[in-house]
């Protein structure tokens, strides 16, 4: 059987210089994919755009997962080596931004920040998160306060550091892992069994200049598209993952250029592994899967 990506994926353009992507509920604005855009700026400054995206949370009963950010700053790697100058540049403060991470999946992103900052190499971003919450279908809303989150910030290291200059718009992607960030207390089999969650944010920072995208469809050869199939890539360890939507489509953005093994599986289906796929910077790699039911 041969099946194709959604038409929007056929129009996928090379991913922009590096954007930060985080996931969100009340979105300042969503876009399917970053668009190429180069702009000459004044000498000594460069433009940094921060977006938000999500690595999926595999609980069907979750209605929303929100985080509230009140401040963001980023560290100049060279200034961090000195003791006389504050190495952090404030990107946003005195503003409350709330994002529903559940809405940001399969390549959907939300712009968080766009700011002109001094040229340099930046290796650490801090997100000052005051609150996180999960709404469980027919199970209530769980609110988690972050006592130190608004004071010291959640630290996300950028490896390798990301260069910002006056020649281009730089995009950095923040990929928020819901599954690892919201730690379940209780039994996830029923809403009544959930006793709450602990919030321990896990965020992957990616320079989109050197990143590509993997997308495709997962289907049963007899029954068609498979919803909520798990797809993930590894490079010695897990890099990122996705869940298919109702049409069987999945998408993983912010994949650094390189060689990967990719896996797909679903409940009551075997796991399929394809080794040695090559992701190129600014390009889409299409990989479809046909899964076989477990006998």
The residue among 62, 55, 64, 60 whose CA lies nearest residue 27 is 64
Peptide bond before residue 160 is cis, with ω within 30 degrees of 0: yes
Give the H/E segment covering residue 9.
Answer: helix 7-10
Q: Return the bridge partners of 131, or none.
A: 68, 145
Residue 106: DSSP 8-state: T
pLDDT of residue 55: 65
Structure tokens at 121: 């190499």
Mean pLDDT across the chain: 80
Q: Give all strands (DSSP E) within 221-257, no chain letters.
A: 224-225, 230-235, 237-243, 249-256
- Lowest pLDDT segment from 24-28, 142-146, 200-204, 239-243: 24-28
Q: What is the DSSP code string of 12-40?
A: PPPPPS--B----SS-S-EESS-------
User: What percent of the chain stands above pLDDT 70?
Assistant: 79
Distance, CA of 73 to CA of 125 (rounded, Å): 6
Please, which pLDDT band fits residue 146 given cuts at 50, 70 and 90?
A: confident
pLDDT (0 to 100) of residue 181: 84
Whole-number Å distance between alpha carbons of 123 and 163: 9
Mean pLDDT check: name the lowest of 43-47, 101-105, 108-112: 43-47
Mean pLDDT of 49-69: 78
**Three-class SS state of 232:** strand
* Alpha carbon 115 to chain centroid, angstroms: 20
Place of tokens 């049963």: 220
CB 48 within 8 A of CB 249: no
The Cα–Cα gap between 187 and 173 comes to 33
Q: Is residue 193 predicted with pLDDT exceeding 70? A: no
Q: Quick check: 258 pLDDT over 80?
A: yes
Asked which of 3-12, 239-248, 256-265, 282-291 is least confident by mean pLDDT, the reply is 3-12
Angle at 253 between CA 248 and CA 259, to 5 degrees: 100
178 φ, ψ to 5°? -65, -45
- Going by pLDDT thresholds of 50, 70 and 90, the confidence category of residue 43 is low
pLDDT of 166 > 50? The answer is: yes
Least confident among 15-24, 132-141, 243-252, 284-293: 15-24
Handedness of CA 231, 208, 108, 49 (dihedral sign): positive
Q: How confident is the model at residue 189 (pLDDT cuts 50, 70, 90)?
A: low
Q: Report whether pLDDT(25) > 80.
A: no
Tokens of 38: 């180069």
What is the pTM assigned to this prediction? Answer: 0.73
pLDDT of residue 180: 81
Query: How many of the other CB atoms lie within 10 Å of CB of 152?
Result: 10
Q: Give the separation between CA 159 and CA 53, rounded to whole angstroms.
A: 18
Give me the mean pLDDT over the 29-50 stretch.
54
SS3 24: coil
Distance CA 165, CA 120 (A): 7
The angle subtended at Cα 115 by Cα 114 and Cα 120, nearest 5°, is 125
């Amino acid at each position: 059987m041969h099946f194709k990506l959604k038409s929007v994926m056929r129009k996928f353009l090379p991913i922009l210089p590096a954007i930060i992507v985080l996931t969100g509920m009340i979105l300042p604005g969503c876009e399917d994919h970053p668009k190429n855009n180069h702009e000459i700026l004044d000498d000594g400054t460069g433009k940094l755009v921060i977006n938000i995206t999500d690595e999926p949370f595999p609980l069907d009963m979750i209605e929303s997962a929100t985080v509230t950010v009140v401040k963001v700053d980023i560290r100049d790697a060279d200034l961090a080596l000195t003791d006389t100058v504050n190495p952090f540049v404030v990107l946003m403060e005195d503003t409350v931004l709330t994002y529903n991470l559940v809405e940001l999946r399969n390549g959907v992103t939300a712009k968080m920040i766009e700011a002109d900052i001094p040229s340099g190499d930046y290796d650490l971003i801090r997100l000052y998160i005051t609150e996180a919450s999960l709404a469980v279908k027919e199970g209530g809303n769980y609110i988690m306060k972050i006592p130190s989150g608004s004071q010291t910030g959640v630290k996300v290291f950028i490896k390798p550091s990301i260069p910002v200059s006056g020649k281009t718009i730089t995009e950095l992607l923040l990929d928020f892992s819901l599954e690892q960030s919201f730690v379940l207390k209780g039994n996830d089999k029923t809403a009544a069994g959930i006793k709450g969650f602990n919030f321990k944010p896990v965020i992957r920072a990616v320079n989109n200049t050197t990143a590509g995208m993997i997308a495709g469809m997962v289907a049963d050869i007899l029954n068609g598209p498979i919803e909520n199939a798990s797809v993930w890539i590894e490079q010695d360890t897990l890099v990122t993952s996705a869940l298919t939507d109702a049409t069987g489509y999945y998408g993983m953005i912010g994949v650094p250029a390189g060689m990967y093994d990719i896996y797909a599986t679903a409940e009551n289906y075997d796991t399929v592994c394809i080794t040695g796929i090559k992701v190129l910077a600014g390009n889409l790699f299409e990989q479809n899967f046909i899964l076989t039911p477990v006998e």
